[in-house]
Amino acid sequence: MAEKRVALVTGAGRGIGACIAKTLAADACDIAVVDYSDASAAEETMRELAELGAAARYYQCDVSGFAAVKAVADQIVKDFGKIDILVNNAGVTADDLLLRMSEAEWDRVLSINLKGCFNMIKHVTPYMLRKRYGRIVSISSVVGLMGNAGQANYAASKAGIIGLTKSVAKELGSRNITANAVAPGFIRTAMTDALTDEQKQAMYKLIPLGSLGEVQDIANAVKFLVSEDARYITGVVLKVDGGMYI
Ligand code: NAP
């Protein structure tokens, strides 16, 4: 039997990240869940990962902290022996029109969404380099490609992830490390469930496939990008958006 791969997934306690973690666990990966809240918030996800047969551990960490991320990456390698796959999924929004956006709202979103990816890639890739193997997938957004009124901070952070991904792909390709981004469109989550029917209808008009995406659609894209089938793919932005941005 092939050796299991170890995947570090940030923001894996809930939402899209939890689905990515479970999908990789079902695909012969052990999972390091890195999340902001204390472990009790991710109890259900950890139980489901164990049921899928994965060795799974929880690491509480704010991805925006440079030193904290190094400590967690080092600990994960102590616990699991290696990190084969890094999925940068943790992300936040703090929406406001630019005229009203505060410096704190800008800094918070950029430091978690973009610097968080830098911190992880910076501290995880030395271990990948030693193994001459690595798969990095960072979750961007279609908003990073098209912009969005009221989300200048979020759109800038998600566009930044694309530049970061392409640069890392160029720097580390010769060492068998790929770096790709996934750009989700509107995905059905608690946030979109709370919208009115009218708001949902307006949203559907923007999407050629006529419906919202599911968290599993994003997890499937990540699973593909870290698979052997995608071994010759690096530096791409895979849009999973029902055609919302073409
Ligand atoms: P979510 O349900 O809000 O989950 C975000 C996760 O990130 C949570 O587990 C959260 O932890 C974690 N997190 C937040 N701040 C963190 C920090 N400083 N350090 C470590 N972890 C932190 O979001 P989602 O909808 O699943 O989205 C996941 C990713 O997809 C995000 O990057 C988002 O921008 C992107 N995306 C989502 C959509 C969509 O329609 N949902 C569309 C495009 C892109 P806590 O639970 O502890 O707060």
Give the predicted TM-score (pTM) of the model: 0.98
pLDDT above 90 coverage of the chain, percent: 92
Report the candidate in 178, 180, 177, 186 with the shortest Cα–Cα distance to residue 241.
186
Catalytic residue, chosen from 58, 59, 154, 204, is 154
Q: How far is the CA of 92 from the centre of ligand 1 (A)?
A: 6
Q: Has 154 been annotated as catalytic?
A: yes
Residue 93 CA, closest ligand 1 atom number: 34
Q: Using one digit for the tens of pLDDT, what is the confidence trace for 120-140?
A: 999 999 999 999 999 999 999
Query: What residue spans of the chain are helical by DSSP H?
Result: 15-25, 43-51, 66-80, 103-109, 115-131, 142-146, 152-172, 190-193, 197-204, 215-225
Q: How far is the CA of 216 from the centre of ligand 1 (A)?
A: 15
The Cα 246–Cα 243 span in angstroms is 6
Amino acid at 18: A
Residue from 59, 60, 89, 146 whose mutation best tests the ligand 1 pocket (most atoms within 8 A of CB): 89
CA atoms within 13 A on the CB side of 63: 32
Q: How far is the CA of 91 from the centre of ligand 1 (A)?
A: 4
Backbone angles phi, psi at 145, to 5 degrees: -95, -35
Residue 64 CA, closest ligand 1 atom number: 18
Render each residue's pLDDT in the chain as its tens digit; 246 residues.
Answer: 689 999 999 999 999 999 999 999 999 999 999 999 999 999 999 999 999 999 999 999 999 999 999 999 999 999 999 999 999 999 999 999 999 999 999 999 999 999 999 999 999 999 999 999 999 999 999 999 999 999 999 999 999 999 999 999 999 999 999 999 999 999 998 777 877 888 888 889 999 999 999 999 999 999 999 999 999 999 999 999 999 999
